[in-house]
Structure 1
Amino acid sequence: MSTQTIQSSSISDPFKRLQITLNPDGTLTRLNNFGRTPAKPESSDDSTAVLSRDIPINYSNKTWARIFLPKQALDHSSPSAEKLPVLVHFHGGGFILFSPDETTSHEFCSNMASELSVIVVSASYRLAPEHRLPAAYDDAMEALSWIKTSHDNWLENYADFSQIFLMGGSAGGNIAYHLGLRAAEQADSLSPLKIKGLILHQSFFGGVERTESEFRSINDPMFSPCDSDLMWELSLPIGVNRDHEYCNPTVAHGSTALEKIKRLGWRVFVTGCDGDHLIDRQIELVKMMKKKEIRVVSRFVEGGFHGFELADPSKAKALYVVLKNFIFSST
């Protein structure tokens, strides 16, 4: 089905719900205004516990990263001080929306840096449909390579490059997963970076056949399978369906790179909730990885909705506790 057909035939009108308009040239006009949060430079007098700043990665592609540094690291700047793990984070938005400086993403990453005592590198990526997949995966790999070669003083002084975790929420979880597959294949060339694990937070996966959780949420007014359909239509390479490996990680029993992840001893944390229509896809991924004897930990909670931990500080706090246990039990 073409995007135009989806747009005209959809009863629930995902274009209106997502606040986007498809232009004749195939680009999007994004009408949503969720606000931008400026970075807090090192000289900031702000009372928050975390500093942040923006660093360009690729000028041609206009990609960049926002680095979050807990202020506590500045208080332990002696040569013998313990350096902090690095969490490389990718935001959600169905590959078509948002950026690291959106207020919700900024606050989530800032709070993670503070609560987990880690450095967070929140990397941007080019959005679809102007830049269809695998552009976002390419940008994610470039961000990881940039961390390796960067002489950014925050990373040089405070980052423990032997403790790297790849994380994302929603579409960002999909990106973190596919970045993990690529990084596992190139692990030797990434030295001194040593990836210890993947954190997949309400990850955005799909498939041709509807799952039970998708049928259950077919009329969800917040985020429905119809919205997912449109996002995949706009982001997948033209001419492929949702059983493409970018969308469905369990197709053909999964990527061969998963065997490398197993040999490297990476741990994988998958979290979601049963109020999210994507949960069955996430559970299928966990089952597949367990069959492949990958060290996977899952946390699926009752209730909630897609993105609920970004909207509810108390739920986010509970997530931070679990993430901190995962990260520091991986060291």
Structure 2
Amino acid sequence: MAAESSIIVDPCAYLHITLNPDGTLTRSPDAFPTASPTISSTATVLSKDIPINPANNTWARIFLPKQPPNKLPLLLYFHGGGFILGSPDLAMFHEFCSNIAGELPVLLVSAGYRLAPEHRLPAAYDDGMEALRWVKTVEDDWLRDHADYSNCFVMGSSAGANMAYHVGLHAARETDDLSPLKIKGLILHQPFFGGVRRTESELRLVNDPFFPPCVSDLMWELSLPVGADRDHTYCNPTAGEDSFGVLDEMERLGWRVLVTGCDGDQLIDRQTELVKMMEKKGIKVEGRFGGGDFHGFEFDDSSKAKLLHLVLQDFIFSDSV
């Protein structure tokens, strides 16, 4: 347990945000440095930005290995930030995505989405589905020349992994409309879920200096529909029945799902519960959970990130689908 001096008593200060009287947030630009797209001739991975929906100010950053083979698996990625922070150009997400694109290798599309509380859920999910439809129709030479649309994966980190799950649920009902995109699987990297009842890991890590429950509680309060609690299906998919049978559809399609996490993250019990739920539905789900570490550790530790790359490489380039 963290030392008393590390206990977080003000989640707004921890997140560098101010909640305004009109319900909007003021986010500190200095707390989260950004990175420009990489077009240097010396870069091993190139990147560029393309608008998705100017009316919603959504856009994507595309990452392409400098010397790609003709076709690469297509990876649609959603960043984290508890639905209230973040964008594809944050330096931590830029570097994370660039390294994945270069080392696996894949053509990676990091798609942005509207943030809460200005745009509460399901706005982010709607933007995720729009990005999925957009990526198959946008006129772009990198995608045209190098993306294997028949070999697509949807991935996210933290809140982005929550998005990948819910976007996957929607996409499973629209596979014909998404052609020629063929989704092979979902990659949920330290997915962000919650619930009203505290789990053992949430109680054990109540004073975690990296990502305590009081911070995730605030994120859910600001992002869920007004009046909803943390047992809403957006937050807690294990709280109720799968009334739409969408997981059954995912099983029928033969999608594989990878869920990663670590026992130093207060979310691990939620993540393992999700794996068990999907196993009961007959979905080909693999849980990769390590010891120690903390939420988002692979963004801070390049050696741990390289281990994640090996897991992703094995999952994406497997011939089991």
Q: TM-score range by the shorter chain?
A: over 0.9
Matching residue's letter, 2:50: I
**In structure 2, distance between residues paired with 1:317 and 1:119:** 18
Q: State the match for 1:26 in structure 2.
A: 23
Cα shift at 1:56: 0.1
1:291 and 2:289 equivalent? no
Q: State the match for 2:51 in structure 1.
A: 56
Correspondence 1:87-236 to 2 at 5 A? 87-236=75-224
Q: State the match for 1:247 in structure 2.
A: 235
**In structure 2, distance between residues paired with 1:90 and 1:16:** 25
Matching residue's letter, 2:110: S
Percent identity, aligned pairs only? 66
**In structure 2, distance between residues paired with 1:184 and 1:308:** 31
Inter-CA distance 187–16: structure 2 relative to 1 (3 Å threshold): same
Q: 1:60 is paired with a residue of what secondary structure?
A: helix
Provide TM-score, normalisation by structure 2. 0.95
**In structure 1, distance between residues paired with 2:27 and 2:59:** 20
Matching residue's letter, 1:261: M
**In structure 1, distance between residues paired with 2:145 and 2:197:** 49
Cα shift at 1:180: 0.2
**In structure 1, distance between residues paired with 2:262 and 2:67:** 33
**In structure 1, distance between residues paired with 2:181 and 2:254:** 15
Matching residue's letter, 2:26: T
| Paired residues, number | 312
Inter-CA distance 167–11: structure 2 relative to 1 (3 Å threshold): closer
Cα shift at 1:253: 3.4
Provide TM-score, normalisation by structure 1. 0.92
| Residue pair 2:8, 2:212 contacting (<8 A) in 1 also | no
- Choose between structure 1 and 2: higher helix proportion: 1
**In structure 2, distance between residues paired with 1:91 and 1:11:** 24
Q: State the match for 1:307 in structure 2.
A: 296
| Residue pair 1:89, 1:168 contacting (<8 A) in 2 also | yes
Structure 2 gap segments, 5+ residues each: 1-6
| Residue pair 1:253, 1:288 contacting (<8 A) in 2 also | no
Structure 1 gap segments, 5+ residues each: 1-9
Q: State the match for 1:12 in structure 2.
A: 9
**In structure 1, distance between residues paired with 2:13 and 2:138:** 41
| Residue pair 2:161, 2:191 contacting (<8 A) in 1 also | yes
**In structure 2, distance between residues paired with 1:37 and 1:317:** 21
Q: State the match for 2:312 in structure 1.
A: 323
Among 249, 270, 273, which residue is 2:262 paired with? 273
| Residue pair 1:217, 1:277 contacting (<8 A) in 2 also | yes
Q: State the match for 2:66 in structure 1.
A: 71
Cα shift at 1:48: 2.3
**In structure 1, distance between residues paired with 2:181 and 2:217:** 36
